[in-house]
A and B are shown apart, each in its own frame.
Chain A
Amino acid sequence: MKKLYSNKLVIFSLVLPGIIVFLFAILAPICLSVYYGFTDYSGMGAYSFIGIENYRQLVHDEAFWTSLKNSLLLAVGFICIQHPLALIVAAVLDKLGGKAEGFFRCVYFIPNVISVAVIAYLWKFIYNPDFGLLNNIIKVFGGKGDINWFSNETAIWAVLLVLIWHGFGWGMLIYYTGIKNIDPVLYEAAAIDGANQRQTFLKITLPLMKPVIQVNVTMAVISALKQMETVYLLTNGGPGNSTQFTANYLYQQAFKAFKYGYGNAIGVIFIIICLLATVFLNKVFEERDINPRRVKGAA
């Protein structure tokens, strides 16, 4: 048995596909990014090495800092708006039971299965100041309904709202599952002690949900950092750079402004920031028995 289980050749053959995929699709591009990050390559023709010039430029690049600030804002928005809502709705849903519970759970998750391409275009129409749904709703309630949702000041909130809306079902589902996993005996005990619903929620549900909340927070931060597609299709970073996000910015720099080298330098920093953020969050939550490395697949 032991011999069989330490057969080097078999081991090698089992992990090889995984390693090949990793090397080819993740490590190789990162190395290439590091390489081009040191050049002034425009994307075609000749180029030369310029040392850390790109990185020096990046430090002074306002748009880049705006993009990081926006990621932070988005993460805070997820954590302070989406998650409390999702948690409450999940707790309420849990009490419902029966067919209705399944129905609502299903409905809440539907936006999640729709393509970002559809979502982004749909919301573009919803936000249209002249004939969009949102202003029409305001008009129905007697308001003037001429709000420009994508002005410099409000655009980032408009983007935030779409992302919160789109990812709501996912966050809700995770909390919901977490709540379902709480041992009913605890609730019974609480009921015997005469606790009301709010007390039960605060004293039992919330503390026991801590690990799940932590996973969700980690996911929120990472998905805020990685945000690209919705913004690319909804505002493409505009007006100005007010809704710029890092991934979108590096794409623009490389393929629009013809600064492929610079775009890659942004990419390298981007990867480092994501790694640091993950490591940091892991450290913060380390003592927990959960594993917050499961950060992909966020909304």
Chain B
Amino acid sequence: MGFAGKKKNKITKPLLWFVLIAVAVIQIFPLVWLVDFSLASSTEMFTNGLLVIPEKIQWGNYAKAFADGNFLLYLKNSILINGLAVVLVILVSIMAAFACRRMRWKLSGFVKTLLLMGMMIPIHATLLPNYKIYSQLGLTDTVWALLIPYVAFSLPQGLFLMTSFMESIPVELEEAAVMDGCGIYRIIFQIITPMLKSSIATVAIMTFLNNWNEFMMASTYLSSEKWKTLPFSVLEFTGEYSSNYAVQFAVMALTAAPAVIVYIILNKHITKGAAMGAVKG
């Protein structure tokens, strides 16, 4: 866009910067505030100023948050459940996309529409009946109680993206493979899948973003610590340390940290992937 840049006059440029910086401050300041108070002591919260300079930096807040918040366990659970969900969504959506897009059968359109329907269903409407179903089947408080809905509600999107990406792959490649005597499964996993790399990354990122912060289902279906995910530690802590605000702030900062750090490191790819998922489809 260098060309447009040439047209800039002297007044607009500072204005541009002002707008951009103002928005950036609005987006980021609450988080700065969070970190600031997480290093102060609880009583220092009751100030009229915007930020405090802690009398003594209270690293202990983080130590408490880390240990009592079960941080590592919940982080592990979050990674595990979300990782599994991503893998399953990718696998299932590639298979279904191939069947609906490439294979020849009467119901392909119908099945595709059916699977895409899931996009329109509000996930929270299934909270009540799913609770009933999972508890009947003994799935509550297991990893499945989260994995199933996470996969189910990310699948339509995955399928949608995969089918549209698959369209751009020339059929000739497959024809050659068939000549060589490849079966369908080998075509899918050895020829098609490697060509879908960028869409796989997109689906992975979208699935991750959708589910990483999910909270309602985790809080409804899980009871023991074994599978609780990261957003939980915040909720548990507000009860546990109700009279210690600073530690609550520390646990919030700690919970937010992994996603923010990963995002900052991979930000180019994530924004690209997410944007692709949302715009290009």
Contact = CB atoms under 8 A, between A and B. Distances in A.
User: Which of A24, A247, A296: most chain B CB closer than 10 A?
Assistant: A296
B166 interface: no
Nearest to A260: B128
Contacts of B27: 107-108, 110-111, 165, 168-169
B122 A296 contact: no
B166 to A, nearest CB: 13
Given A22-B152, A102-B268, A296-B210, A251 B231 contact: no
A225 interface: yes
A212 interface: yes
A36 B126 CA distance: 12
B5 A95 contact: yes
A294 B281 contact: yes
A96 B16 contact: yes
B53 interface: no
B132 A32 contact: yes
B190 interface: no
A207 interface: no
A95 B95 contact: no
B19 A92 contact: yes
A274 interface: yes
Contact of A15 (B4, B20, B96, B270): B96
A227 B247 CA distance: 29
B170 interface: no
B115 interface: yes
Contacts of B221: none
A30 B129 contact: yes
B242 interface: no
B140 to A, nearest CB: 14
A89 B23 contact: yes
A267 B18 CA distance: 46
A118 B254 CA distance: 10
A136 B252 contact: no
A126 B45 CA distance: 11
Given A5-B102, A197-B4, A226-B123, A133 B96 contact: no
A196 B114 CA distance: 48
B96 A107 contact: no
Q: Determine the interface band of chain B, counting residues with CB < 8 A from chain A.
A: 35 or more
A122 B252 contact: yes
Given A24-B148, A294-B281, A296-B157, A14 B96 contact: yes
Interface in A111-155: 111-118, 121-123, 125-126, 130-131, 133, 136-137, 139-140, 145
Interface of B: 1-5, 7-8, 12, 16, 19-20, 23-24, 26-28, 30-31, 33-34, 45-50, 91-93, 95-96, 98-100, 102-105, 111, 114-130, 132-133, 148-149, 151-157, 159-160, 175, 178, 183-185, 188, 206, 209-210, 212-213, 215-216, 230-232, 234-235, 238, 245, 248-249, 252, 255-256, 259-260, 262-264, 267-268, 270-271, 274-281
Contacts, number: 331
Interface in A72-131: 85, 88-89, 92-97, 100, 102, 104-118, 121-123, 125-126, 130-131
Contacts of A108: 23-24, 27
Given A10-B103, A22-B114, A115 B279 contact: no
A25 B151 contact: yes
A200 B3 CA distance: 13
B252 A267 contact: no
Chain B facing A: main interface SS: helix
A225 B215 CA distance: 18
Interface stretch (A46-54, A55-63, A174-182): A174-182
Contact of B129 (A29, A114, A184): A29
Nearest to B184: A10
Contact of A97 (B1, B153, B206, B259): B1
A33 interface: yes
A206 interface: no
Given A4-B178, A296-B157, A181 B133 contact: no
12 contacts: A26-B152, A28-B129, A88-B19, A92-B16, A93-B20, A95-B8, A114-B213, A136-B49, A139-B48, A188-B3, A267-B129, A293-B120
Nearest to A112: B209
Nearest to A195: B7
Contacts of B16: 92, 95-96
A293 B119 CA distance: 8
A25 B259 contact: no
Interface in A163-177: 165, 168-170, 173-174, 176-177
B115 A22 contact: yes
B5 A97 contact: yes
Q: Which of A104, A219, A250, A294 has the most CB of B within 10 A?
A: A294
B104 A296 contact: no
Contacts of B4: 95, 187, 191, 197, 200
Nearest to B276: A177
B98 A14 contact: yes
Contacts of B238: 121
A62 to B, nearest CB: 21
B157 A294 contact: yes
Interface centre among A118, A181, A275 (most CB of B within 10 A): A118
